[in-house]
Amino acid sequence: MANAVIHGQVTRDWRPALRRPRRTTVVALALLAPSLIFLALFTYWPVLQVLWQSLHNQIRIGGPQTYVGGGNFAKLAADPAFRKALSNNLIYAFGTVIPSLVLALGFAMALARSSRVNALFRALFFLPVLIPLVAAASIFLFIFLPGVGLLDYHLAKLALSGPNWLGDPDIALYAIMGLTIWKNAGYYMLFFLAGLQAVPADAYEAAILDGAGPWQRLAYITLPYLKPTIGFVMVIGLLNVVTQVDHVFVLTKGGPSDSTNLLLFYVYQQAVESYDAGKAAAGTLVMLALLLAISASSLRTLERSFGERET
């Protein structure tokens, strides 16, 4: 019975209601089970394997493994090539994420209004995103060829001689930065276009009536409303900086003199070229720690931005 009389009062028997959440939980777990199994097999299990490999040393492929503890991390810290790759990644991150964000915001603000001309320019700016990174690197390899490349060809018409864009250690990393900015700015533009739709038109009208100029409207209206979007795009940009390395394979292979060697390419060198799986695993864990730190700090920034907007 759903109802029972106790001491003249009507009470409700809650036992069926208690069983219902349990059944719902079982059904939910059953529906999530395939995804959880694949997540465990292809995400968490490889991480555990990398962690195990970083604590062991293997002389040859298929040979016995010996426990070395933190020895691989010590070798990693003592390797000047790793320190060079880490510093290159920091310079590469600073030199690509910020210019890409600035260009993307500029494109979005210029093309915010819907029109046929703006739609055409949006498609043109987004076109590099559709080109695979390897194909884009091949295009830029032709552009950067010394003497006969497209860039040097046009510089010669101006009576200028270009440097060896990919062969000069002082310039090669900046050439790769140019490719990355060209590739990513159109992608980030889409997020800023969506973010600009949330900026109320009344705020701009009130600012214009108060005599605010374009830079004042940008600083006090547009950017505050775009804080969550900027934080989100910055997360994507920083993750791309750590995880994208195809263009380094095509253009420079880390050279000259390790001037374009990035962390992921360094891990590849240790695993494939040097056959040092323990050192490569240690480098992978360092990259994973950087990714987790970037994600955690960026998510905290996003939460603060949303909190400020709600208040």
Residue 156 has pLDDT above 70, yes or no: yes
Domain boundaries, given as residue ranges, for the chain: 3-54, 71-310
Mean pLDDT across 175-202: 92
Mean pLDDT across 78-104: 93
Residue 15 has pLDDT above 60, yes or no: no
Which has the closest alpha carbon to 164: 56, 229, 251, 91? 251
- Tokens coding 250: 């095509």
Q: Band the pLDDT of 23: cuts 50, 70, 90.
A: confident
pTM of the predicted structure, to 2 decimals: 0.81
User: Residues 254, 122: contact at Cβ < 8 Å?
Assistant: no
- Look up the CATH architecture of domain 71-310: Orthogonal Bundle (1.10)
Residue 205 has pLDDT above 90, yes or no: no
Say what percent of the chain tops pLDDT 90. Answer: 31
Residue 241 has pLDDT above 70, yes or no: yes
- Out of 21-30, 234-243, 254-263, pick the least confident: 21-30
Q: What pLDDT was estimated at residue 2?
A: 46
Q: What pLDDT was estimated at residue 62?
A: 64
